[in-house]
Amino acid sequence: MIKPINSLQTSLLLHELSFILLVLITASVGITWSLSWQKSSEESLRISAMNTAMQNMRGDVYRQLKEVFDASFLQDYDAVEEYQSYTDSVHNYFQQLEMIAVDTDERNSIDKIINSYNAFYQETIKIFDQKSLDSEQRRKLDKAFEKHTLETLESAFSDLSQIMVQKQASIIDSKARWTTRLIWITSIPVLLSVALLLIARRYIKKNVVHPLSELISGAKLISKGSLEHSVIVSGVGELVLLAEAINKMADDLIINRDNLVESKKQAALGELVPLVAHNIRNPLAGIRAAAQVACDDDLPPETRDTLKDIIVAVDRLERWVTSLLSYLHPVEPHISPIVLTEIADNALSLVELQLVDKNISITRKGWDTATSLVSVDINLFEQAIFNLVQNALEASQSGDIITLAYHELGDTVNLVIEDQGRGMTFDPVSEQVIEGETKRLSCGLGIPFAIKIIKQHDGTIEYFPTNRSGTTVVISIKVTG
């Protein structure tokens, strides 16, 4: 399996390969320079060997010439034998030169020397055949050697010597060039080392050190309870996976914390509601009985209507208490189709006296467009809307207006409750602080009841701050299919 490029193992591998490449470059520079230096040295030794052989051969030629004069003018009988020994030596030098020569110019120069020497040899060998020479013959012999044979031979030697001088100068120039190049070439590994060091340092800081530092800081914040903090996902692949794992762990902790809070809420409600229901039912039964007994036909019609309203309200409260107990200890839900505005009207009928006492008015919008039915537990939904309106009422001041707006949007109906109070600093749905500091559950038990009831009916509830002041609550629920 191919590892991701941006991983710690791959980064280490690339780092190691970079250093290996650096070593190979350095070794290549050293080997190239060594081979060039060795080649120059070998060429210099070869030219030096040719020059030595040529100079030795030249010396032997002039020694042969001396033996010729010794034999001609001094009657030296050993001169012939010494002449032949020098001849053998010269031929050996010829063989050396031919073996050392490497190009056409050198071989042509050597051939020129050989031809000149052969001419010299043919001229001198004739002298040994003559017993004595007169003065005229000596003069001609001297001029012939000087003008022809020796001049030709010296010219051949000079040509070969000039070739060797040029090649020696070329070697010196090549060494000078390589010395200059070596200064620049040797700087390449140094520059590469510095560049590799800087790149590696920056890469490690950017992809390892800084992400690891952020990871440690984020983990410390999360461990202290800041579960909403998100660790920055960056760096090499391993650190990215670790950061993602820590963020997922924080998200899971938030979910578990919220579930735990919700469980504690339900446990608290489970203990509180039965007690409250018991303490409410007994007074309600007394109130209903008293109202029913007092409802006599002899009473004025207004009084009888008021007592009947009391009986209806007590019956509704009794149904609410029963629904609350069923909600905390659910059995079979009592789902009925109904128009949402009708539920809202039933809930609003219980706050009419409070509205009058606080000089607060209710405005209904969209009631005339309400035609769609929703399937809900009527008693539970009445309590939910009542709790939300009650919260709006408590937040409002004298002279404020609470607006209830009804909308039908396709397969969904919305009920909007808007007040003009001081506004909420805490979103009870997401349980996030909107502004300033606040305590959880500071909104009381009414809103948690409403939220759970609406969610139980597959609906949604949202809180929004209004443009001026106050709070807007939006209840959405699907239309009965």
Write the burial class of residue 456 (CB in 10 Å: 0-12 exposed, 13-18 middle, 19+ buried). Answer: middle
* Strand 460-465 with 432-433, pairing: unpaired
Better-scored residue on pLDDT, 13 or 365 = 365
pLDDT recorded at residue 171:
82
Proportion of the chain above pLDDT 90, given as a percent: 9
Please give the average per-residue pLDDT across 139-157, as a whole number.
66
Banded model confidence at residue 293, pLDDT cuts 50, 70, 90: low
- Look at residue 177 in the predicted model and tell me its pLDDT: 79
Residue 374 is predicted with a pLDDT of 92
Query: What is the pTM assigned to this prediction?
Result: 0.41
For residue 294, pLDDT beyond 60: yes
User: What is the rounded average pLDDT of the residues 327-337?
Assistant: 67
Residue 167 CA to residue 187 CA, distance in Å, equals 30
Q: Which of 56, 33, 357, 334 is nearest to 186 (CA)?
A: 33
Separation CA 366–CA 91 (nearest Å): 130
From residue 171, give the alpha-carbon distance in Å to each of 159, 164, 191, 297, 371.
Answer: 19, 10, 30, 141, 108
Asked whether this chain's domains 8-206 and 333-481 adopt the same fold, the reply is no
Position 164 scores a pLDDT of: 85
Res 229 pLDDT > 60: yes
Check whether domain 8-206 has CATH 3.40.47, yes or no:
no
Assigned CATH for 333-481: 3.30.565.10
Q: Give the model's pLDDT for residue 365.
A: 92
Q: Is the pLDDT of residue 437 over 70?
A: no
Q: Binning pLDDT at 50, 70 and 90, where does residue 436 land? A: very low
- How far apart, in whole angstroms, are the C-alpha atoms of residue 113 and residue 58? 10
Bridging pattern class, strands 432-433 and 412-418: unpaired
Going from the C-alpha of 178 to that of each of 186, 217, 308, 448, the distances in angstroms are 11, 56, 119, 88
471-478, strands of its sheet edge to edge: 361-365, 401-409, 412-418, 471-478, 460-465
Give pLDDT, residue 331: 44
Q: What's the pLDDT score for residue 139?
A: 56
279-306 mean pLDDT: 71
CA 23 → CA 10, 37, 183, 363, distances in Å? 20, 21, 18, 86
| DSSP category for residue 436 | S
Asked if the model's pLDDT at residue 75 lies above 60, the reply is: yes
pLDDT greater than 50 at residue 443: no
410 vs 193, which has greater pLDDT?
410
The mean pLDDT value of the chain amounts to 78
| pLDDT, position 404 | 93
**Most confidently modeled of 28-37, 198-207, 290-299, 403-412?**
403-412
pLDDT given for residue 405 in this prediction: 94
Q: How far is CA 289 from CA 281, 292, 312, 444, in A?
A: 12, 5, 12, 31
Residue 477: band (very low, low, confident or very high) from pLDDT cuts 50, 70, 90: very high
Find which of 46-55, 173-182, 441-450 is predicted with most confidence, using mean pLDDT.
Answer: 46-55
Q: What per-residue string of b and e applies to 117-147 under the rule 16 or more CB within 10 Å gives b?
A: beebeebbeeeeeeeeeeeeeeeebeeebee
DSSP string, 328-378: HS--S---EEEEHHHHHHHHHGGGHHHHHHHT-EEEEESGGG---EEEE-H
Report residue 24 as tokens: 């190979």
Look at residue 474 in the predicted model and tell me its pLDDT: 93
Which range of 33-42, 284-293, 389-398 scores highest in mean pLDDT? It is: 389-398
| Every domain of the chain and the residues it spans | 8-206, 333-481
Q: Is residue 7's pLDDT more than 50? A: yes
For position 417, what pLDDT does the model report?
A: 92
Q: Is the pLDDT of residue 31 over 90?
A: no
Q: How confident is the model at residue 138 (pLDDT cuts 50, 70, 90)?
A: low
Any idea which of 67-76, 104-113, 297-306, 450-459 has the lowest mean pLDDT? 67-76
The three-class DSSP label of residue 474 is strand
